[in-house]
Amino acid sequence: MASNGKVAMVTGGGQGIGEAISKRLASDGFAVAIADLNLDNANKVASAIEADGGKAVAVKTDVSDRDSVFAAVKEASEKLGGFDVIVNNAGLGPTTPIDTITQEQFDTVYHVNVGGVLWGIQAAHAKFKELGHGGKIISATSQAGVVGNPNLALYSGTKFAIRGVTQVAARDLAAEGITVNAYAPGIVKTPMMFDIAHKVGQNAGKDDEWGMQTFAKDITLGRLSEPEDVANGVAFLAGPDSNYITGQTLEVDGGMQFH
């Protein structure tokens, strides 16, 4: 893997979509910091990248904690020799029928999903300023952040918020050579999505496959997404071909939502 001289950090990089993004960015020549609450998972992904000839480090991070995110960016920058791209990918997706939502659930999901993006934007911006150059900020929304999905009031709400924050940050940071975009995955074969499908099926007295199909039936391309499909879109947003794109949400959902 030839280095492109740039450094990227991916939160929630230890599994699912984050793992696929980390590996794709490494193959594109980025040195990658795998930032995850689960350090074992992060280490596995970093080791796989290194074994493939790439450059990676694992960083333990709790994205709901602002100080932890700033510390992760600092560590990534020091260990990898720079900082150019942050991918705010970490997120929680609990199944929450309206009447079941608790105060504790609300606090947890908003702190991780929205807080994690805000702190990531702040930490990346501070580091870009310190290093004296622009950069790219990329955050995970969802097709459920474009159109409300059944049973996902908390998740959908946070993902709509991320699109709003992305648009504001794009306007606020453009003069500094920083682009800010989001990507909206559809129904991806990840541990989180299988859990959602299981819960939705259970709530309806049906099986996991029924739960998955409640979401999957609207995919124009007729197949569930692989994590790599999403990573391809993020690679475009992280690379030079998207330099004239900011404030946008790239929907990588096989044609679930059209805008």
If one compares 257 and 106, the residue with the highest pLDDT of the two is 106
| Residue 19 resides in a domain | yes
Residue 81 domain-assigned (yes or no):
yes
Q: Are 82 and 32 in contact (CB under 8 A)?
A: no
Residue 110: active-site member: no
Cα 22 to Cα 56: distance, rounded to the nearest angstrom = 9
**Catalytic residue chosen out of the listed positions 136, 155, 183, 199:** 155
Q: Is the pLDDT of residue 259 over 90?
A: no
Instruction: Report yes or no on 216 lying in a domain.
Output: no
Q: Which residues contact residue 143 at a Cβ distance below 8 angstroms, ignoring those fewer than 6 apart? A: 149, 184, 185, 186, 187, 251, 253, 256, 257
The predicted pLDDT at position 196 comes to 85
In a domain, 205, yes or no: no
In a domain, 164, yes or no: yes
Residue 258 lies in a domain: no
State pLDDT tens for residues 52-67: 999 999 999 999 999 9
C-alpha 38/C-alpha 40 separation (Å) is 6
Domain count, the chain: 1
**CATH code of 86's domain:** 3.40.50.720
Q: What is the pTM of this model?
A: 0.95
User: Residue 215 falls within a domain, yes or no?
Assistant: no
Active-site residue, from 159, 183, 199, 217: 159
Residue 115 within a domain: yes
159 is catalytic: yes
